[in-house]
Structure 1
């Protein structure tokens, strides 16, 4: 049989059994749809991670109390920061930082927000950029001033707009503070603080009005470059051991680069987990194709006998059923891809970030064809092995 005759036979059978073929392809459709969406969501997650950390210096190091089971008796002080700057040659910048939460209000608008008490160098360490005004510096050390994030500014000054908010007064935990600056949108959060939705104030003011009697300060440092991160960690560890001895174990050092890599790994792991689920769905769809082909072989036994009686070879019968399985699975894969495109607006409606990729389409289609080939071969071989006389006598 020629290749054209084989294809003609396949499409005649598909046309005559449209409902059965559609039901057979459902598993493949769902599986390929799931693969495309999983890859799209995975790509969206990884892109979100990149955007979240894009402004973050990968040479940033955080020295903070270790929140394990042991009781924390020590507290980092400004003297520790100064000693680190003096002794750690791999460090270029350092700042004290203390986080807290407070109620914030402006006229009739009130909210709760994260607050960071910082020193001047935190601006360069965390790559903070200003939209309006200026950042906290040594002149504001004892002043009630704040720099607010872009999202917080929009919330508090929705009616007035944020263009002229510098110089306005807001109430933080019952105390009036003057706004001296508004940050550009950062799109990143680190160590539990989101600069877009929070505000910065001088370190001493945060200790006095925000954190209460049990502050948990941290030291934020910046290595000279990415190649100095490991040596900076070693030098900081030596400084802490020198100052606190065995109790230095109550502190931990974390670098922003490892946080970025950890976030990427988490996104990749989630993608692989979801991809495994999609693979299982495709395998189930392949089993469905195999079962339907077995039934088809039984239903078409006499047809197989007639084809062999008029000269069809074993490989011709094999090709008919194998190509039929491949075509059915390929159609299912293509339909799954089309349905995935239609599903994208639904994901966006529910604020799920998904980015379609060519690799996702190719993976879904390739898996579909592979599953059809794998699960279609045995029924095809079964049909090809029938003896003509047995097939013609089959009732």
Structure 2
């Protein structure tokens, strides 16, 4: 005698219990089904036939009893092995067709083969052949709403046959069809039975059931009749049928098969894109949070980096090898130290010092005609352009002869030129009054910009040191001294050499103060970096809001597509396949949102650049923001995806 493909012993199924009433739907079913059989399970609504079909198709588990498939106890199979059975051994034909609305006829038919790991070329060819065989060759690209009921049912039959469909479970396959379509579908089932498929027909229609070779009647959860006497139990099964031993071998070998993850991933991406496009307005609103979040992070960091680079460039333009020397009071009530000409001569001889320049200056009133302006007037020598790397844009700088003769000449900054001599085409040779003393303009310095937030280097007037001492301030002691270190990489060593020399000259009295541009630049860089991080952190909050939006839409999507999840599980999808499907959709949302956010950031950055605002995009920041968007999609999409993967197949299929 052949081993039955399906053997049920005392199968019982109950729902409820605890706080709700317990309802026993199946109350002890004993049933054996052999290879090649065509049987009908008939009964009125509520008799338990649909519940029995779900248990037969491994969509549901019995409360009690033993279910053996090809001699294997199904109770000992894990979720992946049950998914393998649904994918390889069973093919479902539902009364409501249960096609995925967003997929074409071809894509619906191919779905079981995707989860089986069939190559794309092979499954395309098989799906096309099945649709052609069922008279749907011209409808492969149509979606379910573009097909009649009979055509949709034929698509579901083709899907049931995609992986072989050795056991066809047809639940009221003609219930939603007109008589002509119903006749065509039954003819197809007759043909499949003659080809060796096990066909299990679930129906309440006696006329439809009469097409089967074996009729089982079920009432109140019990089998009350079984025309089993007409069936071949003695080994004379349909020679075309796949025998139990063959399926048992395939189950042992194939239950560990992981499928083709590439094919599943491509299907997941395509499905995700279709869902996003179909609900594009809702998707756009959801993406808004991610788009704004990514764009904010990128723009904020770019503005912060641009500001930092601008300030660094402006400070660096004055020389990163510059050391400033000031007199200071060694104690609160002590007199401020004085840097003498003897000190300057000693410092100029140090090997670490390249140039040295005293500056005698102060804020002063500058006038031209009836225009007044306050600027910094600094007396210095001819080392000024070299030390500060500050060329003259118009005219020339004053000479050593001007310095020796205390000549009343001036080189004005760009801002002074704009404030006082804007309407003068050629300022060279014109006279300005500095504290009511006339000075002839011999040059205009090139525009330099601000060296810090509250000062503007271009708002200055450079005059000979001797002229400043004699004509304006009445003292030859410098306000401060500018020292250019010989090596920009050894500014600290030069500063230490200057300090040792001055301590020796001033009898170990610390009545001076040294600062250098390198330290100022580093301090400013740290400040700007902290500001950039703060701006980026504030902007990152938008990404969090965007992530919550992703979770919201994914939860809504799971609720809306619960039946689709049930269909995918019925065709062999494992829990991790469903998890991958919905997690892919969450990541797709984040990818699209991230790319749109980067595009928006570049547009905003371009607009800011046109507005003369310093912006510096860094690829690390761009990729970092995009990466954060991806992580957001994974983190906030995982919970809805896991919820989808854990849905009960039967509950999902029967959801509205």
What TM-score does the superposition give when structure 1 sets the normalisation length?
0.87
Aligned length: 391
After TM superposition, the structure 1 = structure 2 runs for residues 1-395 of structure 1, keeping only pairs within 5 Å, are 1=111, 2=114, 3=264, 4-66=266-328, 70-71=332-333, 73-74=335-336, 75-86=338-349, 88-131=350-393, 132-137=395-400, 139-141=402-404, 142-161=406-425, 164-187=426-449, 189=451, 194-207=456-469, 217-245=479-507, 247-248=509-510, 250-344=511-605, 346-348=607-609, 351-394=612-655
- SS of 1:37's partner is helix
Q: Deviations over 1:97-123 (max 9, x none)?
A: 133212212123332212212123333
Residues 321 and 491 in structure 2, CA contact (< 8 A), matched pair in contact too: yes
Q: Distance in 1 between matches of 2:466 and 2:430?
A: 21
Greater shift in the superposed pair: 148-157 or 344-353: 344-353
Residues 99 and 217 in structure 1, CA contact (< 8 A), matched pair in contact too: yes
Q: Deviations over 1:341-391 (max 9, x none)?
A: 332354346542113454444333332222212221222122112221233
Structure 1 residues 150 and 128: CA distance shift in structure 2, 3 A? same
Structure 1 spans left out of the alignment, 5+ residues: none
Structure 1 residues 295 and 211: CA distance shift in structure 2, 3 A? farther
Structure 2 spans left out of the alignment, 5+ residues: 1-110, 115-263
Residues 33 and 336 in structure 1, CA contact (< 8 A), matched pair in contact too: yes
Q: Distance in 1 between matches of 2:577 and 2:490?
A: 67
Q: Deviations over 1:215-239 (max 9, x none)?
A: 8711111222225433322222122
Q: Distance in 1 between matches of 2:334 and 2:594?
A: 57
Q: Distance in 1 between matches of 2:307 and 2:453?
A: 19
* 1:209, distance to aligned residue in structure 2 (A): 5.6
* 1:321, distance to aligned residue in structure 2 (A): 0.8
Greater shift in the superposed pair: 194-203 or 204-213: 204-213
Instruction: Indicate the structure whose relative CO is greater, using CA pairs within 8 Å and at least 6 residues apart.
Output: 1
- SS of 2:506's partner is helix
* 1:270, distance to aligned residue in structure 2 (A): 2.1
Q: Distance in 1 between matches of 2:379 and 2:323?
A: 17
Residues 358 and 478 in structure 2, CA contact (< 8 A), matched pair in contact too: no
